[in-house]
Every structure is written in C-alpha cells, then in structure tokens.
Amino acid sequence: MSDFDELPPSDRAKVYASPGVQVRFDAARCRHSGRCVLGAPEVFDTDARPWIQPGNADPEHVAEVVRRCPTGALHYLLADGPAEEPDRPTTVTPLPDGPLEIRGDLRLTGPWGEAREVPEVRAQLCRCGASANKPFCDGSHERIGWHDDRP
C-alpha cells in the first residue's frame, strides 16, 4: 500500500502529519480496542487535541503501533521508509460473537460510488449483516445482540 488515496474512501477519515510519518485515522472503522493508546500513549491520547500527534515518537515506532490496529482504522505513510507489507499468509479469524478479522493482501469491494477494488492489509468485516458501513464492522452486532450460534 503506497498511498492513502488507495484506501476505501470515508467521510470520517483524517490525516495527522509529522515530518517523518503521516497517520490516517478512519473513525468509522475504529472499534476502540485501545491497542494504539496502549502502544504509544504519547502519540495516541484521547484527552489531547488533536488526539493523534505522530511527532511525539520515532516514526518507525508510530508505524509499528499502527500495524497493531486490527480494524484498519489506522494506516501510515513513512517519509523515509517502506509502505506497510501485508501479512503472509493471509489470516481470517472469526471473533467470538463479532466480526471476521482479516490480515493479509486484501482487495475489497464496497459501495464506494464506482465498481472498484481497493487494497487493504487489515480489516474487521461484518458478520452479523447489520453494519451500516459494509463491508466493515461498525459494532452493530453488539447493538442487536448477535451471537455465533444465531442463524
């Protein structure tokens, strides 16, 4: 993945920049796992404004923490470094009573105005059928009380 423009478009995505790294955050895809806040609290601080300040840590560390984001809400572009490599092999993990978590070399299609595939490396995809942000999970499984054993 070499450019934020390749990612699924989102009205809620914002870019936070420092000289060494840019971080793109798509609030519509965040499921609040907190891995970013735990991994780099000096960068990801929900009490600060802006809440993402990529200049507060080494760019490589920012990138490493962004790769922990399971939903793909976070992506990065290093000024002097490689683009994120997808996991190989691709893995698909059904989360208990929740979405499918996928990491790998993905091509997603969705209701993005034109029929096109977009590359991805991390995503949590809707499994309950109720998401308003398909193909992504938006947490609706919790709202409707969806369970794995429900048809």
Contact set with ligand SF4 (CB under 6 A): 30-36, 69, 71, 73-74
Distance, C-alpha 35 to centroid of its chain? 11
* Side-by-side strand order, sheet with 117-125: 91-94, 100-109, 117-125
Please check whether residue 1 is in contact with residue 121, taking contact to mean a CB–CB distance below 8 angstroms. yes
Q: What is the dihedral sign for C-alpha 29, 34, 35, 36?
A: positive
User: Is 12 or 116 the residue whose CB approaches ligand SF4 more closely?
Assistant: 12
**Between 33 and 140, CB nearer to ligand SF4:** 33
Contact 28, 136 (CB under 8 A): yes
Please, what is the minimum distance in Å from the beta carbon of residue 52 to ligand SF4?
9
Residue nearer to ligand SF4 on the CB measure, 68 or 134: 68
Shortest reach from residue 70's CB to ligand SF4, in Å: 6
Q: In the bound complex, what is the minimum distance in angstroms from residue 16's beta carbon to ligand SF4?
A: 12
